[in-house]
Amino acid sequence: MHDDRSLVEARLKRVLDERIRPAVYSASVPLEVAVWNAPGEPVPVAEGLAAEPSPIDVGSMWGAPWGTCWFRVTGTVPAEWAGETVEAILDLGFDENMPGFQCEGLVYRPDGTPVKGLNPRNQWVRIGAPVAGGEEVRLHIEAASNPVILDYHPFLPTQLGDKETAGSDPQYKLTRMDLAVFEETVWQLVMDLEVLGELMQELPVDSGRRWELLRAVDRALDAVDLQDVKGTAAAARARLAEVLATPAQPSAHRISAVGHAHIDSAWLWPLRETVRKVARTTSNMTALLEDEPDFVFAMSQAQQWAWVKEHRPEVWAKVKKAVAEGRFVPAGGMWVESDTNMPGSEAMARQFVHGKRFFLEEFGVENDEAWLPDTFGFAAGLPQIIKAAGSKWLLTQKISWSQTNKFPHHTFQWEGIDGTRIFTHFPPVDTYNCSMKGSEIAHAAKNFKDKGVARHSLAPTGWGDGGGGTTREMVAKAARMRDLEGSATVVWETPEEFFTKAEAEYPNPPVWVGELYLELHRATLTSQAKTKQGNRRSEHLLREAELWAATAAVRAGFPYPYEQLDRVWKTVLLHQFHDILPGSSIAWVHREAEKTYAAVAGELGGIIDGAQRALAGEGTAELVFNSAPHARHGVAAGGAALPAPGAASYRHPREGGGYVLDNGLLRVEVDARGLVVSAYDIGAERESVAPGGAANLLQLHPDFPNMWDAWDVDEFYRNTVTDLVDADAVEPAEGARGTAAVRIVRSFGESTVTQVLSLAPGTKRLDIDTEVDWHETEKFLKLAFALDVHADRYASETQFGHFHRATHTNTSWEAAKFEACNHRFVHIEEPEWGVALVNDSTYGHDVTRTVRAADSGTTTTVRASLLRAPRFPDPETDQGVHRFRHALVPGAAIGDAVREGYRINLPERTVAGAEAEVTPLVAVDNDAVVVTAVKLADDGSGDVVVRFHESRGGRARATLTAGFQVAEATATDLLERPLAEAAPPQRAGDTVFLTLRPFELVTLRLKRA
């Protein structure tokens, strides 16, 4: 037989494109259109419906950037269409290649009932099936003219990312507003041909099945009269029936399709627009659920559900009904799909607390899965947080984006720092926007790495990023692939149904230990410094507010602000979304975030001040409140007292220029360039700074990644570096009482840096306060410390502990981690002596090692990432004044790193009051056991909840003593529910006896007598 494969395939493409698809709508009449431009921000639905619009013609431009236009479309179904299926085709000027990234609309009936959303892949509204003819049609469209930020030439700087700079030029051309006859049989033929044509392309050329499909398609096309597609579509379909009915092989890969619309809670649009995106998508999905009995849709992010409930009650009613039917599924159990690298311990825990509680309270649904398809890597502390929240599964696909190494599993056990294992699945379809293309389904089956021992994978199916969800075309394709030879089998299932099957068939999956590092998007640890600082500060203020409010409530009858704390927590958690905290959103998002964090700080500051004044009482004595988990300056952790008298540090000129700072424990030499050339641990007789090296060295790199400007830093940035060694001034500075300090000023490019280096009495710690007036573009600023430490690994703090990364690059996996995340500290050590670098607001860092030619010693260089200046999506990223605090801690063991990390983030507060001590509400007698939260129980019972963990990576025994009478102590999960499998804690009166394994996380609920 002659090989005519290419001929038939080309025939299929042209006939589909030029004859069959256009015949899906066989007749049409125009609708009359009028428009009202809403002034300013979006208006309530009732106002938009009541507004008086003006006529507008198809072909006219509409929609200023970020504007809202209310279109009214009216018409009459022709009488001669009686018995036909009629739809309105409402094309606002869509580009079908950009679902979720441009204009969108929500269609309403005149009474305000939402019908469905409009987007580039979903432009139709059903009028009737069949119609009687003569019906009057009146629809309203709330149309959002969101500008295209990520265009065909991506990553070009644009001012469209902020309403204040976007201008007022109309963005879109009204393209089509018609009533049309929908030809169901023709549409079904399109689905048949698309599925078979796409499957055919994926099968081996020498397979019999491919040629069977080719011949069937050829015969079907012969049956199509190109001048009468409607009249011959049924005959063409009949010629495809046999190949569509041939069942799949028993060994075929099995795909659980989950209806999905990954909606970024903010990204290339502001938060307020996401509220509307969610309403449009949920309206679409509830409508699709009514039409398609097999379809199942899952939506994560409790925040987005809460937005629907608050802002779109008419949509919420439909959602609740679909949830009750088990087909609209709350997924993931988190407040938002957050970043997981940067959120602190308590914040990561509260993502699950607030997410799971919302779904429990609203629907009685408990999520067993964490659902994070698009998060930029996963911290090593996450597994035990998932388990402590009462969940057991994790889904993501983002690791498939890694540039260097291909992850070896799709289904596996992920083991965290404490030994907790979570059953984890990476969908081999390698997208969270699966559209049921044959290429995607075939890729999932071929790509699946666990063949032979497992057969199930999951495919999140629907347009996402900017929303839209699953389409009727995707459902139709999935129906054809339910049991089709040559294809993986596809069935609509909930996440729970998938995970239950996958876990049952794979009882001994492989294990991956440690972080799931994404070898991409590393610069998200640094971009938009003020957003990151706002997050870090808010997390610690929340700790303080809960601690002091709980203490004051128990001790002084202070009204515990349950609702206020709940609301503020949710605000902070929202801003940990994986395009807000990582700094990868448009300018509008980060401008609003800065204002929000300032408001949060003011609100929490008020709670803290009120609670501390209630505890301090009336008086003039200066009480020092210590909210850190370790005692300092004679003040107990979680308590307040009069400060202990301190000694003094000294500063004197250094030979050759510069200054020496000395407090008897640490001697620091700052040379004439303002660089630290010596940090000598006097007691250990040990130098910290490498010979010939320096600490406090600012370094500037060019920073122009190949793509994804705000997200990426590519390894070649290191090829060029400028050491900022020229100083405008190196001079004495005023420090706090007894503190010796030096001030350094540098200028470079269009920017200036002012630093104050200070040595407080009684500490082995050099504090470094850095202020940068930053006006560079596409540059990367680092703060470097060349240390005389031989270490092949270093410790990096993560949630509820720390873990180790290599300092070397033996393998491609290690080399790929050239920029990584830490929380409050990085620690390197040789046996019995180490150095820590702690910070108050930075996350990105790198650690490298070199061997010195002079003495063959090893220099380990730790660098903190301070600032970047990418131009997309915010062309003014990080411009302006920034302040950072770091501290170098020579001679630090890991416990010192933990303590100093908390100290720099939780400064003491001084309050005038009675001359008395405030004893801690809860005290722990072992510094290895770190308390991360002291609060009153969320249920308003007045019980005290304490959360803590072992922080050093070893076993720990401790006693926890309550400063109140305890009637009962109960171990709970993160949601403060008793753990069924946990034995009651050993207790004697108000003391609880603790034994913890390395990094073990524990939540105790103490009932007050």
CB atoms within 10 A of CB 645: 8
Any residues with CB less than 8 A from the CB of 389 and at least 6 apart, and which?
333, 349, 352, 353, 356, 973, 974, 975
CB 575 within 8 Å of CB 534: yes
Report angle CA 136, 142, 144 to the nearest 5 degrees: 145
Indicate the length of the chain as a whole number: 1009
| Helix or strand run (H / E) with residue 137 | strand 136-145
Cα-to-chain-centroid distance, residue 189 = 41
The token pair that represents 361 in the structure block:
């309270």
Query: At how many degrees (to 10) do helices 302-311 and 271-291 cross?
Result: 90
The token pair that represents 852 in the structure block:
């010195």
Sheet containing strand 393-395, edge to edge, reads: 369-371, 393-395, 421-425, 411-415, 511-513
How, if at all, do strands 1001-1008 and 991-996 pair? unpaired
Sheet containing strand 922-924, edge to edge, reads: 922-924, 956-962, 991-996, 986-988
User: What whole-number distance in Å separates Cα of residue 130 and Cα of residue 123?
Assistant: 20
- Nearest one of 95, 110, 111, 106 to 69, comparing CA atoms: 106
User: What whole-number distance in Å separates Cα of residue 29 and Cα of residue 135?
Assistant: 13
User: What whole-number distance in Å separates Cα of residue 9 and Cα of residue 480?
Assistant: 20
Any residues with CB less than 8 A from the CB of 904 and at least 6 apart, and which?
767, 824, 838, 839, 840, 885, 886, 887
| Catalytic hit among 264, 374, 662, 681 | 374
CB 849 within 8 Å of CB 859: yes
User: What whole-number distance in Å separates Cα of residue 461 and Cα of residue 469?
Assistant: 8
CB 638 within 8 Å of CB 644: no
3-class SS letters over 739-753: CEEEEEEEEECCEEE
Residue type, 956: A
Q: What is residue 902's three-state secondary structure? A: helix
- Nearest one of 786, 790, 784 to 828, comparing CA atoms: 790
- Nearest one of 604, 644, 608 to 627, comparing CA atoms: 608
CB 311 within 8 Å of CB 279: yes
DSSP state at residue 302: H
Sign (positive or negative) of CA dihedral 813, 819, 823, 828 = positive
User: What whole-number distance in Å separates Cα of residue 365 and Cα of residue 219?
Assistant: 50
Question: What does 414-467 look like in DSSP terms, one character per residue?
Answer: EE-TTS-EEEEE--TT--SSB---HHHHHHHHHH-TTTTT--EEEEEESB-BB-
| Helix or strand run (H / E) with residue 574 | helix 562-574
Question: Is residue 374 among the annotated active site residues?
Answer: yes
User: What whole-number distance in Å separates Cα of residue 309 and Cα of residue 303?
Assistant: 10
The terminus-to-terminus CA distance of the chain in angstroms comes to 90
CB atoms within 10 A of CB 642: 15
Q: Enumerate the active-site residues.
A: 374
